[in-house]
Structure 1
Amino acid sequence: MEIKVGNYEILTQGTVISIIDEPIDFFINEDAKGFIIRFIFKNDPEVTEKKINVESYETNGAKFTFINFNNNLGTGSFKPITVGTFNKRELLFSYRIYHLEGAGQTMHYNWLLGKEVGNGK
């Protein structure tokens, strides 16, 4: 089965229920190499709005820290976020995050494939 959202092909989609203070890791394999995308949730009373910090993780991965994503009605991306490439196509991510006080976050996600890129890098 193939699912598309507009011009994007859904590579995979699902729901993850987090454990408080534990990361969510996506292991994305391409050919013989792979990379990790790590998601961390933090609440910071010093920060007045929702914020996402992105930094390098491990050799060729990325770490996304979601700060103050603590709305029980949900928060998410308006447009897919470009993460990199996968099999010479754009790799994008979209999400909705819901918070249950004392129980962590629930993340609904789509990993999407976009247009082809020149050399896959």
Structure 2
Amino acid sequence: MTDNNELNQKVTSYVGELEVIASGIAPSILESKLKLVYDDLQFEFDFVNNKEINNHNIELKIVEKKLVFILTNFNNSLGTGIVRPLEIGHHNGRRLYISFWVLTPSASEELRVINWTMLKGGSVNNLIETKDE
């Protein structure tokens, strides 16, 4: 039997010193891009296939107050992405990070599944983070 108080407790996850603030798994199809919104910040994943190059590439671009991840040749059925959290900006004085992994079960139909995690770190004012003792 589970105590109701246990069910109401919030679980907080960390990757090292970074706090996980959101994570999810979402499908992405050719016509529908994955968009993430965190307060007033917007992120979008845009997939590009380029047969002229053999490797994958990640380009970041700011378009109309939105950070767009242009992901070229993310066609691997085993997955491609960024596992080590990438600093993408600041929010309320804290560093903001993202990591993601893209699985492509059907490259011909451009069907993808995106596993993503957003994290926050220390203050942008501190170059070196210290722990309170």
Q: TM-score, normalised by structure 2?
A: 0.79
2:120 is the counterpart of 1:113: yes
Of the two structures, which has the highest relative contact order with CA contacts closer than 8 Å and spacing of 6 or more? 1
Aligned to 1:50: 56
Q: Which runs of 5+ in 2 are unaligned?
A: 1-10, 127-133
Q: How many residues align?
A: 114
2:44 is the counterpart of 1:2: no
Look at both structures and tell me which one has the larger radius of gyration over its CA atoms: 2
Mapped partners of 1:63, 1:78: distance in 2: 18
Mapped partners of 1:28, 1:17: distance in 2: 19
> Does structure 2 conserve the Cα–Cα contact (< 8 Å) formed by 1:21 and 1:41?
no
Tell me how far 1:35 sits from its aligned partner.
2.2
Aligned to 2:3: none
Aligned to 1:97: 102
Task: Within 5 Å, give how 1:13-32 maps onto structure 2.
Answer: 13-29=23-39
2:97 is the counterpart of 1:87: no
> Does structure 2 conserve the Cα–Cα contact (< 8 Å) formed by 1:22 and 1:40?
no
Q: Structure 1: which 4+ aligned runs deviate by more than 2 Å?
A: none
Which of 50, 53, 63 matches 2:68?
Answer: 63
- How many percent of aligned residue pairs carry the same amino acid? 27
- Per-residue CA distance 1:39-96 (angstroms, 9 max, x = gap): 11121101221001211111x3211110000000111214111110122111000011
Aligned to 2:7: none
Q: TM-score, normalised by structure 1?
A: 0.87
Q: Which runs of 5+ in 1 are unaligned?
A: none
Q: Which amino acid aligns with 1:25?
A: K
* Corresponding residue SS for 1:45: coil
Aligned to 1:38: 44
Mapped partners of 1:118, 1:5: distance in 2: 21
